Amino acid sequence: MSIYQLVTINQRFIAETIARTGSEQLLDKVARSFVGLYSQDENWYIPLRANLGNKKPEGAYFETHFPTNNPHFKRPGLDYQKSIFVPAEYTIEIRNTLPEEQSALIFSKQDEIRESFESYVLSLDRLDKKSTNYQFSTVPLFPEGIQQIKKMQDEVKKSMNNTSEKGTMKQETLFNHLNDVAAKKEENGSTVVEIPDVQNEKSIQEIIKAKDYKALSAHLKERVSSYLETDLFKNYLNFVSKFHKYSQKNVRLLLSQNPAVSRVAGFNKWKEVGRTVKKGSKALYVYAPASAIKKDKDGKPIKDENGKVVKETYFFLTPVFDVSQTSGEPIPKPIHELEGNFETPEQFVKVFKAVEAISPVPLKIEEFPSSANGYYHKVEKEIVINTGLGEYMTLKTMIHEITHAKLHADSTSSFGDPTYSQQEFEAESVAYIVSNHLGIDTSSYSFGYLASWTEQGKTIDSFTESLDRITKEAQQIIESLDKSLALSFAMAEPANKFEERIARAQGRFVEPKKAEEKQVEKVPAKKETKEVEPPNPKEKSLRLTR
């Protein structure tokens, strides 16, 4: 975990280091400002330069370009080559008087900077000790600091080897499988499930700060079962409905740091929508992917059989902030978000049509002799919704059955077996998330329904896998539904520029002259059937949903 601060170095440390190393490279470091990005008592500090010049080797710096008329800022940035490893007692924190844009850039990119700095430090081992680039660097003067970074990197590699299959974590995080159950086969063929010892457990903040990956793995694994408790699971589903682009691991990591988290975004994302992070706000952390060129022992890029440079994906903690930590322009609700009853029948019809448009199979409304709300017919490949359900329950049931049609179309499970129960659990969870995204509160129905299915199934053995399917399917439906809703509500002209920025950021802004054309493209092809008439709002799944 990183912590952004601006410091200068005590002259006594400079003098002692010169005496210890015999190097005079540190003579001009007394008056220089350094950026600290680590929280340990003794760690690396990177000097700020107004002009990096043109002779810095690739990977030995981080540029911090920003708009300015100041002629002194020719090529501003952080100079990795002149970094020093200093005990905290020899640092003097100074007021951050950097240009606002430069400071904001460093703040938002601090984890990326830290990762690239560590790559630079480790790359020095591959250089000839007599080379100019090696001799010109102050980093080799602090072998204990280099060793610390190597130790940190080793911990990351061990964590990867112990908890995940290398090469499978693309759009997820470094700890994509940290909370998966670790099982080993003994010689007799039996399976032993390893349950980490989490006695005297540290707080999640302490675990992240210490980069204790083993403890983080234990923490997440321990918490998986607790999500079967209604309140925790409801909190999880509520969060996914608002922030559907996060992986289920990142969602749980955020909730572990702050159970009350509601809306999160990075520093720059908040700035884009007219809000600023309040000073002194403590960041929450999620994992984000990045890529780097893979190099051989001589520091040269490795190429594949086609001559293309090979890149490796790595993952790092990156800071985000909750909306409660920001101030600025109000956040408008999506145009389709509903509160209370539909104000007009037309509003319900628009949402109904938008939900119908994302169904992979034909959908019809008709009365059938059952207490069920609807069903998905596996043979006929169609969804049937019962009449007389009312507006909200009709929409929720449609989403439930669409989930079955998308996730469980080829399932051979039957009523009463554990797989059937698990599939109902998944479909109702997705329906709750998507309904909540629309502003429809179905919790009084959904959680009683979920409880009944988990009781019938006794336990959900593959709960982690279900959680992953629930999250991903809800994400896909919400993304498709947002586009369909934008067309249905003819969102061609946002009320103001701020709303337009929100619309564009969420991918639901439609160019006025193209709205009608896109409507035709987005409605999926279905077998011939007469147009579905939305149920009468005043009236009230063979996969039945009661």
Residue 293 lies in a domain: yes
At residue 281 the predicted structure's pLDDT band, cuts being 50, 70 and 90, is confident
Question: Would you state the pLDDT for residue 298?
Answer: 74
Indicate the residue among 328, 353, 388 that finishes a domain. Answer: 328
Question: Would you state the pLDDT for residue 220?
Answer: 53
141 shares a domain with 77: yes
- Containing structural domain, residue 115: 5-150
Q: Between these two residues, 483 and 444, which has the higher pLDDT value?
A: 483
Question: Would you state the pLDDT for residue 362?
Answer: 92
Domain count, the chain: 3
Q: Are 398 and 439 in contact (CB under 8 A)?
A: no
Whole-number average pLDDT of the chain: 71
At residue 244 the predicted structure's pLDDT band, cuts being 50, 70 and 90, is low
144 shares a domain with 46: yes
pLDDT at 46 over 90: yes
Residue 484 lies in a domain: yes
Q: How many CB atoms lie within 10 A of CB 263?
A: 15
Which residues on neighbouring strands pair with residue 78, listed in sequence order? 48, 62
270 shares a domain with 243: yes
Q: Mean pLDDT across the stretch 24-44? A: 75
* Closest to 258 measured CA to CA, from 281, 278, 279: 281
Indicate the residue among 109, 124, 150 that finishes a domain. Answer: 150
431 shares a domain with 530: yes
375 shares a domain with 514: yes
Q: Are 202 and 212 in contact (CB under 8 A)?
A: yes
Range with the poorest average pLDDT among 67-81, 214-228, 373-387: 214-228
Residue 337 lies in a domain: no
Question: Would you state the pLDDT for residue 161?
Answer: 46
469 shares a domain with 517: yes
Q: Between these two residues, 349 and 218, which has the higher pLDDT value?
A: 349
pLDDT at 521 over 50: no
Range with the poorest average pLDDT among 273-282, 441-450, 474-483: 441-450
At residue 141 the predicted structure's pLDDT band, cuts being 50, 70 and 90, is very high
Spatial separation of the C-alpha atoms in residues 318 and 284, rounded to whole Å: 8
Residue 178 lies in a domain: no
364 shares a domain with 433: yes
Residue 281 lies in a domain: yes
At residue 158 the predicted structure's pLDDT band, cuts being 50, 70 and 90, is low
Question: Would you state the pLDDT for residue 45?
Answer: 92
217 shares a domain with 110: no
Spatial separation of the C-alpha atoms in residues 356 and 515, rounded to whole Å: 18
Q: Between these two residues, 473 and 142, which has the higher pLDDT value?
A: 142
Residue 437 lies in a domain: yes
pLDDT at 64 over 80: yes
The C-alpha angle with vertex 501 and arms to 496 and 505, in degrees rounded to 5, equals 150
Question: Would you state the pLDDT for residue 82?
Answer: 92
Q: State pTM to two decimals.
A: 0.42
245 shares a domain with 389: no
Residue 336 lies in a domain: no
Question: Would you state the pLDDT for residue 199?
Answer: 33
Collapsing DSSP to helix, strand or coil, 50 comes out as coil
Q: Mean pLDDT across the stretch 56-73? A: 89
Q: Are 460 and 233 in contact (CB under 8 A)?
A: no
Q: In what order do the strands lie in the sheet with 264-265?
A: 264-265, 311-322, 284-293
487 shares a domain with 350: yes
pLDDT at 247 over 80: no
Type of residue numbered 521: E
Q: How many CB atoms lie within 10 A of CB 345?
A: 13
Question: Would you state the pLDDT for residue 190?
Answer: 30
At residue 78 the predicted structure's pLDDT band, cuts being 50, 70 and 90, is very high
378 shares a domain with 247: no
76: domain CATH number?
A: 3.10.129.130
At residue 22 the predicted structure's pLDDT band, cuts being 50, 70 and 90, is confident
Residue 170 lies in a domain: no
At residue 477 the predicted structure's pLDDT band, cuts being 50, 70 and 90, is confident
Q: Mean pLDDT across the stretch 186-215? A: 44
363 shares a domain with 301: no
